[in-house]
Amino acid sequence: MKLRQNKLTPLVLQENPGLPSSVSPGGSNFKDFDALIDRLDRIREQWLQKEIQTGQIYDSLRLPENLLLEYSQSRKTSRISELFAQANLLQSNTDRVIFLGTHDSHVIVRTFLQACCDPHWNELTRGERGSKPRVYFAGDSLDNDSAQGLMHLFCPDRPENRNESFPWGVVWLKSCDTQDQQTISQKHLKQHLQKAGNELFYYECLPKTSSDPLAIPQIPSVLLPFSPLGLLPAAILGINIMELLAGACATTKLFTSTAGNLNPILRWVAWHQMAEKRTVALWNQSLLEGSKWLCQLTNRLGLHRATPNKPWIFLRPLQEPLLEKDLDFCSHFWIDQPRFDDLGCEPEAIDQVAWDPNSERPRKLHRDNSSAPTYHELAKSSFERIQKTQSDQGRAGLTLRFPDLGELSLGQWMQWMIIASILEAELMQDT
């Protein structure tokens, strides 16, 4: 697996459109906001000094750096090498892979798939997918129709399946939080698929035993995008898992090395604790599955710790205009650089478009003289206009800016949200 050496650019938290006047210096709630930052910083210090006995949930935050450390010390026998080997086996020998798992494990894989892969991944040819398999999801419920549909799709008697060039594989993403009905569904589908297909490419992704320093047996799977439950599917898709881990480590270092008001993660948590509602505008469709993962992250921590009283509300301003009522306490996820070349809003003449085999995307041979904006320019103009409206009207919100949506940025963001959710759960338990 090729390991690219991209430069890590940190995510940036901007207080734009800004904090409400009540929590600014001199405001009526400024002391409360400042006190909340202090409480969060004490939790951070206690965790660093290992005074909080939260068990494996806090230990999971060290998982990315522990995996990278193990890989650097014993590369051939490390868990990462094991993941690479299994991913290479499935890539080389299958063209379709089914992930059996819970909704929580599936939403992690879908987050990686949507953010880092082509939006129409399964529709591409094997060559366009870089010889990586198409992916399917099953076992998250006892739904009859979805199970029947999957079994029909992979039935060996189906004419389309008789002359396949490649067999297909099954990866069972086992986790501690699988419900009884999910276990029944997964076992049944596993038995059916093993009888119908080539069992050589069946693999169980299991947490290690509690005696292992990288053990993760009792942590909710939604907290484990940087464990084999998330990293193996990502590696199968050709996603650079080393950069995912490096991004997560950068966020952990930011959290552990920055105190008080200077820590952006603490400010993010404090602001959303003080806000009347937790609304975020998604300015890129590729974070839609990530927003579902964030909702599940909060829900699962609620089951194990304490339930936050304000659910996440995600808006999609590129699909539907934001309403006036949406602008109160609305934060933003903004991505500076789209993954693909910026598409102009005017149709291009056929002689102005070329297929670049390195990018697998149509690219202009030259920029014409049209004054029409591009898709990204229109989105940016709308984003800046909304922020200005919020600021002019005294509305409040934060902006988390991504330099792009590559693996380094995605790893940073997911670790940021995991840390923030754990801090919120600690606050709820402490009150």
Q: Is residue 369 part of a domain?
A: no
Its domain, for residue 403, covers 12-339+375-430
Number of domains making up the chain:
1
Q: Enter the pTM of the model.
A: 0.88
Q: Is residue 1 part of a domain?
A: no
Q: Is residue 324 part of a domain?
A: yes
Which amino acid, one-letter code, is at 83?
Answer: L
d(CA 156, CA 53) in angstroms, rounded, equals 52
d(CA 137, CA 140) in angstroms, rounded, equals 8
The answer to whether the beta carbons of residues 162 and 197 sit under 8 Å apart is no
State yes or no: pLDDT of 183 exceeds 70.
no
Q: What is the pLDDT of residues 219-232, one digit of tens each?
A: 788 888 999 889 99
Q: Is residue 6 part of a domain?
A: no
Q: What is the pLDDT of residues 51-68, one digit of tens each?
A: 555 555 677 788 899 999
pLDDT of residue 177: 61
Q: What is the 3-class SS of the chain, one letter each residue?
A: CCCCCCCCCCCEEEEEEECCHHHCCCCCCHHHHHHHHHHHHHHHHHHHCCCCCCCHHHHHHHHHHHHHHHHHHCHHHCHHHHHHHHHHHHHHHCCEEEEECCHHHHHHHHHHHHHHCCCCHHHCCCCCCCCCCEEEEECCCCCHHHHHHHHHHCCCCCHHHHCCCCCEEEEEECCCCCCHHHHHHHHHHHHHHHHHCCHHHEEEECCCCCCCCCCCCCCCHHHCCCCHHHHHHHHHCCCCHHHHHHHHHHHHHHHHHCCHHHCHHHHHHHHHHHCCCEEEEECCHHHHHHHHHHHHHHHHHHHHCCCCCCCEEEECCCCCCCCHHHHCCEEEEEECCCCCCCCECCCCCHHHEEEECCCCEEEECCCCCCCCCEHHHHHHHHHHHHHHHHHHCCCCEEEEEECCCCHHHHHHHHHHHHHHHHHHHHHHHHC
**Residue scoring higher pLDDT (185 or 332):** 332
Q: What is the pLDDT of residues 386-431, one digit of tens each?
A: 999 998 888 889 999 999 999 999 999 999 999 999 888 888 776 5
Q: What is the pLDDT of residues 81-127, one digit of tens each?
A: 999 999 999 999 899 998 988 888 899 999 999 999 999 999 999 98
Q: Is residue 370 part of a domain?
A: no
Q: Is residue 275 part of a domain?
A: yes
Q: What is the pLDDT of residues 143-171, one digit of tens each?
A: 788 888 888 888 777 887 777 778 788 88
* Range 249-264 average pLDDT: 95
**Residue scoring higher pLDDT (62 or 317):** 317
Task: To the nearest 10°, report the CA torsion of 75, 77, 80, 82.
Answer: 140
- pLDDT band at residue 373 under the 50/70/90 scheme: confident
| Burial status of residue 69 (CB atoms within 10 A of its CB: 0-12, 13-18, 19 or more) | middle
Can you say how many angstroms the Cα of residue 262 is from the centroid of all Cα atoms in its chain? 25
Q: Is residue 356 part of a domain?
A: no
Q: Is residue 391 part of a domain?
A: yes
